Amino acid sequence: MSGPTLFEKIIAGEIPAQKEYEDELCIAVHDINPQAPVHLLIIPRKPIPRVGDALDEDQDTLGHLLIVARNLAKSLELESGFRVVINNGPDGGETVPHLHIHLLGGRPLEWPPG
């Protein structure tokens, strides 16, 4: 990986994004190409390339991301359901080599996803 990722630039404020949430471990922004009425990206501040490359020491951060997803789903009133997605590698749909969680909701979601 050469240079900062798109998400590192968003976290640094170099690229504008519509923030929904942030704390010391992560930031949540609206996806610029939403696939549902609610489509947030929950991004750790620590640049973990992908979940398959996460270290044991990242356990607290990974758990925190899921708790943030849960809390955002509650605050956005997604009572009827929501989906969390983590893409890993090109065949998994990964387009940015910086771990992030997609939070999708606001409409019925199909299965399989694609």
In this predicted structure, the answer to whether residue 1 has a pLDDT above a threshold of 80 is no
Mean pLDDT value across residues 17-36: 97
Q: Residue 64 catalytic?
A: no
Which neighbouring-strand residues pair with 103?
Answer: 40, 84
Does any domain span residue 47?
yes
**pLDDT (0 to 100) of residue 114:** 65
Q: Exposure of 111 by Cβ count < 10 A (0-12 exposed, 13-18 middle, 19+ buried)?
A: exposed
* Number of structural domains in the chain: 1
> 3-class DSSP state for residue 89?
coil
Residue 23 in domain: yes
Catalytic, out of 39, 98, 100, 102? 100
The answer to whether position 25 is within a domain reads yes
Checking if the pLDDT of 59 tops 80, the result is yes
Residue 53: domain span: 6-105
Q: What integer pLDDT is reported at residue 58 of this predicted model? A: 98
Rounded Cα distance, 114 and 6, in Å: 24
